Amino acid sequence: MMTIVKLCGLRSIDDIRYANEAGPDMAGMIVSPGFRRSITKELAKDMVDGLSDGIRSVGVFVDHDPEDLTDIAGYAGFDIVQLHGSEDEDYISFVKEMSGVPVIKSFGISDEQLSAARRTSADMVLIDPGRGSGETFDLALLNGIGRSIIIAGGLTPDNVGEAICTACPYGVDTSSGIESDGSKDRQKMIGFVSAVRA
C-alpha cells in the first residue's frame, strides 16, 4: 500500500501552488489562532478552493471551541478536520457528527498517549511527539500499536524514506521539514513527496 503524504502548515496561495506541483494526498492549514502558521478562515477557504482535485484539505485546530470549529470547517470546505490539542472523546464525537467529515487526532508518545491512540474513535491517528515542533522520536515505540497511523516529527526529504521503512506507517506528515527560513520551500515540498513515492 502506498504511504499517504500530508504537507502541513500551508499559509499562502503560493504554498497551495507548490502543493499542487508536489502532489501530496493531503494539505493541512492551521486555523486556530496563536500559532506561527495560523491563517484566517477566509484565507483558508481561498486556499482550499485553489487545491487540485485529489488533494484533500485538512483544517488543523487546537483546543478550539467545537461549535466554532464546525462552522469554520463548513465555511472553508475542509475535507478532513485534525485535532491537535487535548481534545477528549466527547469532543471528537461531537466534531465527527456535526462536521460530517473524517477526524485525525494527534497524540504524543508517552505510554498513556499511545494507549489513548489505540482506543480513540478518531478516523485516523497522528503521532507527533513535539506537537508540531519538528522533534523526532524512536519509531520502534509504534510497533504493535494496531491501527493506521500517520507519523510526524522532524521528517524531511532526506530521512522520510528511512522512516517509512522502519515504521511502515499509513501516512507521513511534515511542516518544518519542507521550509527554508520559516517559509514553505517549493523544492523541498516536491522533494518530500518524491521521496515518499520512491
Cβ(99)–Cβ(81) under 8 Å? yes
Per-residue pLDDT reduced to its tens digit, 12-25: 999 999 999 999 99
pTM beyond 0.85: the answer is yes
Q: What percent of the chain has pLDDT over 90?
A: 80
Per-position b or e across 122-144, b if 16+ CB within 10 A of its CB: bebbbbbbeebebeebebeebee
pLDDT of amino acid 145: 72
Residue 120 predicted with pLDDT over 60? yes
pLDDT band at residue 129, thresholds of 50, 70 and 90?
A: confident
Count the Cβ atoms, other than its own, within 10 Å of residue 187: 12
Architecture of domain 4-197: Alpha-Beta Barrel (3.20)
Mean pLDDT, range 123-150, rounded to an integer: 74
Instruction: Identify the sign of the CA torsion 51, 54, 55, 60.
Output: positive
pLDDT of amino acid 110: 86
Domains of the chain: which residue ranges?
4-197
Q: Which residues contact 97 (CB under 8 A, 6 or more apart)?
A: none
